């Protein structure tokens, strides 16, 4: 909305700055940060009054982990609403509306609704079982179909979104990926990224801290993809208009930092599925739209490791009757080995930063 102020630079010269993506990205991040600190106290008070607290699993379900996490009882959940409000308002203020911005907000809003329903059912039923997995997947499939329709029915993005790029290659593997492959591929990206962050969200500050590094990495990638000169120099896909996703990544960074302020150990609030599913989906759709969906595997290395630890644990137990880890996701394995929660989080943050740097390095290695 504020981008249109640049059209009045003849009246006041400095208004031209609102036309620059870099300037608007900085303001988007600061706006999300500012709004978050304003919204947080009132939101947390409402959640506490509604007794919307995190439902913890008992010792019969998780063994010794129940003792380690006993102090987390009665902490409000659904804190993802804080991130959603601060990010969305900031994006509406600072991003120039186009199909890529609309698509990102569509996915983010849709997954926030699904996550909210899941958290609401957990609180209402007073147990850790919320929305059934099949309904989550159905919702993610509908969102995938909706956003893909938006992208393919809009002339601005239709041709570009059918290209398929992979890391380390200077040109797309195909200029027109068949729809029968495009839909399941996007579904895997969205569902995989949203569920991976959901699995990572198990201890204070872990998921949101790793989201910060992913937002930074994809902010850089979005800016490069939307800039003709930079994209040509790096031999990556040039996608006109995708630079606006940099503004979204900056807002996501600001909103995530606010949430981290309150979610750092000992947490005052949990994001719940309201936040984790939506954040994963947002990062996933941005990666897809800037032709970096496979690079997401590198940038989101921690999320991939967390998800794979669950898959391996379940597979091993079903096939061999034995567990590989003391508990999955893998951050709980290290907790049960005796690592303090903060040590697990900080070490995983370090790895997340290294993964983000490695992902950015693929832009040049082609």
- Over residues 281-337, the pLDDT tens digits come to 999 999 999 999 999 999 999 999 999 999 999 999 888 888 898 888 999 899 889
Residue 301 sits at the vertex; the CA angle it makes with 295 and 302, to the nearest 5 degrees, is 150
198-227 mean pLDDT: 95
Average pLDDT (232-257) is 96
CB atoms within 10 A of CB 231: 21
pLDDT at 6 over 70: no
316 token code pair: 């091993």
In this model, does residue 18 exceed pLDDT 80? no
Give the count of alpha carbons within 13 A of 125, CB side only.
12
What local confidence, expressed as pLDDT, does residue 40 receive? 95
* Residue 300 contacts residue 286 (beta carbons within 8 Å): no
Q: Please determine, for residue 8, whether its predicted confidence score (pLDDT) is greater than 80.
A: no
329 token code pair: 């996701």
In Å, the largest CA–CA distance within the chain is 74
pLDDT at 16: 74
* Six-digit token string for 4: 């249109």
CB 258 within 8 Å of CB 289: no
Is the pLDDT at 4 greater than 90, yes or no? no
Lowest-confidence pick of 3-17, 83-97, 175-189: 3-17
Of the ranges 49-53, 81-85, 116-120, 299-303, which one carries the lowest mean pLDDT score? Answer: 49-53
Contact 363, 314 (CB under 8 A): no
Query: Are the beta carbons of 303 and 196 closer than 8 angstroms?
Result: yes
d(CA 210, CA 204): 12
pLDDT, position 116 = 94
The residue-averaged pLDDT of 126-148 equals 89
Per the prediction, the chain carries an average pLDDT of 91
Per-residue pLDDT, 228: 95
CA 57 to the chain's CA centroid? 25
Burial (Cβ within 10 Å: 0-12, 13-18, ≥19) of residue 153: exposed
**Choice between 61 and 180, residue whose per-residue pLDDT is larger:** 180
Nearest one of 76, 147, 77, 81 to 112, comparing CA atoms: 81
Model confidence band, residue 128 (pLDDT cutoffs 50, 70, 90) = low
pLDDT band at 125 (very low <50, low <70, confident <90, very high): confident
Cβ neighbours of 24 (radius 10 Å): 26
SS3 string of 218-255? HHHHHHHHCCHHHHHHHCCCCCCCHHHHHHHHHHHHHH
Is pLDDT at 366 greater than 90 in this prediction?
no
| pLDDT of 217 strictly over 80 | yes
Tokens for 291? 């032709």
- Is residue 53 classed as helix, strand or coil in its secondary structure? strand
Q: What region does 110 belong to: left with phi over 0, alpha with psi -120 to 50, or beta?
A: alpha
3-state secondary structure of 54: coil
């Amino acid at each position: 909305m504020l981008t249109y102020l640049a059209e009045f630079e003849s009246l006041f010269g400095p208004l031209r700055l609102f036309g620059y993506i870099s300037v608007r990205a900085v303001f988007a991040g600061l706006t999300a940060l500012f709004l978050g600190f304003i919204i947080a106290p009132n939101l947390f008070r409402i959640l506490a009054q509604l007794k919307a607290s995190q439902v913890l699993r008992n010792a019969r379900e998780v063994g010794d982990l129940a003792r380690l996490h006993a102090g987390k009882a009665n902490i409000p959940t659904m804190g993802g609403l804080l991130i959603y409000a601060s990010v969305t308002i900031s994006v509406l203020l600072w991003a120039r509306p186009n199909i890529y911005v609309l698509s990102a907000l569509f996915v983010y809003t849709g997954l926030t609704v699904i996550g909210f329903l899941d958290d609401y059912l957990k609180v209402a039923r007073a147990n850790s079982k919320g929305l059934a997995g099949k309904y989550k997947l159905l919702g993610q499939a509908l969102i995938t179909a909706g956003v893909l329709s938006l992208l393919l029915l809009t002339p601005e993005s239709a041709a570009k979104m059918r290209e398929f790029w992979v890391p380390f290659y200077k040109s797309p593997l195909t200029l027109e990926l068949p729809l029968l492959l495009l839909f399941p591929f996007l579904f895997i990206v969205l569902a995989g990224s949203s569920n991976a962050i959901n699995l990572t969200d198990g201890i204070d500050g872990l998921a949101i801290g790793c989201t910060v590094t992913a937002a930074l990495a994809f902010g850089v990638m979005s800016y490069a993809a939307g800039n003709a000169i930079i994209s040509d120099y790096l031999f990556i896909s040039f996608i006109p208009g995708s630079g606006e996703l940099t503004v979204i990544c900056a807002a996501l960074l600001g909103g995530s930092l606010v949430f981290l302020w309150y979610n750092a150990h000992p947490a005052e609030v949990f994001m719940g599925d309201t936040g984790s599913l939506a954040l994963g989906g947002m990062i996933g759709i941005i990666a897809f739209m800037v032709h970096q969906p496979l690079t997401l595997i590198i940038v989101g290395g921690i999320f991939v490791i967390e998800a794979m630890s669950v898959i391996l644990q379940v597979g091993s137990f079903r096939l061999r009757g034995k567990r590989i880890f003391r508990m999955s996701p893998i951050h709980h394995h290290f907790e049960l080995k005796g690592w303090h929660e903060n040590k697990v989080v900080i070490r995983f943050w370090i790895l997340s930063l290294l993964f983000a740097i490695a992902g950015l390095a693929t832009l040049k290695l082609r």
